[in-house]
């Protein structure tokens, strides 16, 4: 009986050590299934991912708001419904609202000193826009009063805005979008100027002007209270297909400060997109000009714009930009009527006869410095 017991114990010992030998360790060569289970265990705690969309200039000329007029006010939704699916599918969507939405009380106006219906704000919100950047050359078109009226409406809508402010305190408050997904994003916005209308000396907070010293400070503040920084710059030469040296310098400056993405506008046409390396070896997405998203500028290249989309991935506390992708857009109209923003891949020959060739050319132009840029179509 004792012999049997010893024999039994020996069997158990050998079996258990044999089993132990089969348990994969880091050094041993684990089976593919154990590799997957190890990865699954560690990834969820360490990484988060969100997506961002951005559009260029929303520049409401009088012919556009006249076309949007209804019996009770203005409705731009029929003009924008085709791009809605491409704006509401990301965690955060941002737009450059170039014209202040001072509303009817101030008297609506188009070029050169714009004042837009408040309804465009409601419609952007309905489209899925979460953040508007407001620092641009038209910010002061209606003076401090226009800004005050516009901001009060954005506040009423619960829309996050940046670049234009109602007072000093408002201007010192860095906007951080809380996604509730483990990545919070700060939004900053600056313009090269305000079309010769001086920023009132007693109200320097009204508009953020491009100033490296201020930008450096703001970016530093933003980095302390967020996971990623997106910088909106209104800069460059109008109608130029390539960025100027000044744009390039400012974009490099932003990369050196650790910004994650620059979203540029003002030239009214699309400029190529590229990755820019900062001095810490960080990789920044540079979108020099997104063109016009929604405007009444009727000549051909100014009707082409787009939606840049990318992901922000956080791993071990570090956020990286990944998977930039682009939707080309086009503003159609019959003269000053029937304005509509259409994803270019949905255009018909009736709307733009050579659309296939235009799409080919724009894709080539945008991706010439970034071969990994993909297009949604
Ligand atoms: Zn502009």
pLDDT means over runs of 10, the chain (377 residues): 53 42 34 40 67 97 97 97 97 98 96 97 98 98 97 98 98 97 97 96 97 98 98 97 98 98 97 98 98 92 96 95 98 94 96 94 98 95
Distance 196 CA to ligand 1 centre (A): 13
Q: Which residues of 215-226 are buried (b: 16+ CB within 10 A; e: fewer)?
A: beebbebbbeeb
Distance 27 CA to ligand 1 centre (A): 59
- Where do we find the tokens 């260029």? 56
Distance 287 CA to ligand 1 centre (A): 15
Distance 214 CA to ligand 1 centre (A): 21
CATH label, 49-375, candidates 3.30.1370.10, 3.40.50.1390, 3.60.21.10, 3.40.50.300:
3.60.21.10
DSSP reduced 3-state for 56: strand
Rounded to two decimals, the pTM is 0.87
Per-residue confidence (pLDDT) for residue 6, from 0 to 100: 54
Distance 266 CA to ligand 1 centre (A): 4
Distance 270 CA to ligand 1 centre (A): 13
Render pLDDT for 179-198 as a digit per residue (tens, 0 to 9): 999 999 999 999 999 999 99
Distance 303 CA to ligand 1 centre (A): 15
Pairwise CA distance, residues 208 & 268, whole Å: 20
Cβ contacts of residue 54 below 8 Å, gap of 6+? 93, 94, 95, 96, 230, 263, 287, 290, 307, 308, 309
Per-residue confidence (pLDDT) for residue 20, from 0 to 100: 35
Distance 268 CA to ligand 1 centre (A): 7
271: left (phi over 0), alpha (psi -120 to 50) or beta: beta
Q: Which DSSP symbol is given to 299?
A: S
Per-residue confidence (pLDDT) for residue 179, from 0 to 100: 97
Distance 234 CA to ligand 1 centre (A): 6
Distance 136 CA to ligand 1 centre (A): 6
Distance 112 CA to ligand 1 centre (A): 11
Distance 150 CA to ligand 1 centre (A): 17
Distance 152 CA to ligand 1 centre (A): 22
Distance 265 CA to ligand 1 centre (A): 7
- Determine the angle formed by the axes of helices 143-157 and 119-127, rounding to 10 degrees: 40
Pairwise CA distance, residues 353 & 330, whole Å: 13
Per-residue confidence (pLDDT) for residue 298, from 0 to 100: 85
Distance 49 CA to ligand 1 centre (A): 32
Reading across the β-sheet that carries 273-277, which strands appear in turn? 175-178, 184-191, 228-234, 261-265, 283-287, 273-277
Pairwise CA distance, residues 296 & 243, whole Å: 23
Distance 243 CA to ligand 1 centre (A): 15
Map out the domains of the chain as residue ranges: 49-375
Per-residue confidence (pLDDT) for residue 3, from 0 to 100: 52
Distance 293 CA to ligand 1 centre (A): 12
């Amino acid at each position: 009986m004792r012999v049997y017991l010893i024999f039994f114990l020996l069997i158990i010992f050998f079996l258990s050590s044999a089993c132990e030998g089969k348990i994969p360790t880091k050094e041993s060569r684990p089976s593919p299934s154990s590799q997957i289970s190890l990865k699954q265990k560690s990834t969820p705690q360490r990484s988060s991912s969100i997506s961002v969309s951005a559009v260029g200039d929303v520049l409401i000329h009088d012919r556009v708001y006249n076309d949007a007029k209804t019996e009770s006010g203005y409705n731009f939704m029929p003009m924008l419904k085709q791009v809605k699916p491409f704006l509401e599918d990301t965690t955060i969507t941002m737009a450059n609202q170039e014209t202040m939405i001072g509303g009817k009380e101030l008297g609506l106006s188009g070029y050169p000193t714009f004042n837009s219906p408040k309804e465009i704000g409601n419609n952007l919100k309905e489209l899925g826009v979460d953040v508007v950047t407001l620092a641009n050359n038209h910010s002061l078109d209606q003076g401090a009063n226009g800004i005050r009226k516009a901001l009060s409406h954005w506040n009423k809508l619960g829309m996050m805005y940046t670049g234009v402010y109602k007072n000093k305190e408002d201007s010192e408050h860095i906007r951080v979008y809380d996604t509730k997904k483990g990545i919070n994003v700060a939004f900053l916005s600056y313009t090269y100027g305000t079309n010769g209308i001086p920023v009132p000396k007693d109200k320097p907070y009204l508009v953020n002007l491009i100033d490296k010293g201020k930008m450096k400070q703001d970016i530093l503040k933003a980095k302390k209270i967020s996971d990623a920084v997106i910088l909106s710059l209104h800069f460059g030469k109008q109608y130029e297909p390539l960025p100027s040296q000044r744009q390039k310098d400012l974009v490099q400056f932003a990369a050196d400060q650790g910004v994650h993405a620059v979203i540029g506008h003002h030239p009214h046409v699309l400029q190529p997109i590229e990755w820019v390396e900062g001095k810490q070896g960080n990789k920044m997405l540079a979108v020099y000009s997104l063109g016009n998203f929604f405007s009444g500028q009727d000549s051909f290249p100014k009707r082409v714009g787009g939606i840049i989309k990318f992901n922000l991935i956080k791993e071990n506390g570090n956020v990286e930009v990944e998977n930039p992708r682009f939707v080309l857009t086009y503003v159609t109209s019959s003269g000053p009527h029937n304005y509509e923003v259409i994803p270019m891949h949905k255009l018909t020959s009736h709307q733009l006869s050579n659309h296939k060739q235009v799409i080919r050319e724009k894709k080539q132009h945008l991706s010439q410095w970034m071969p990994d840029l993909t297009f949604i179509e």
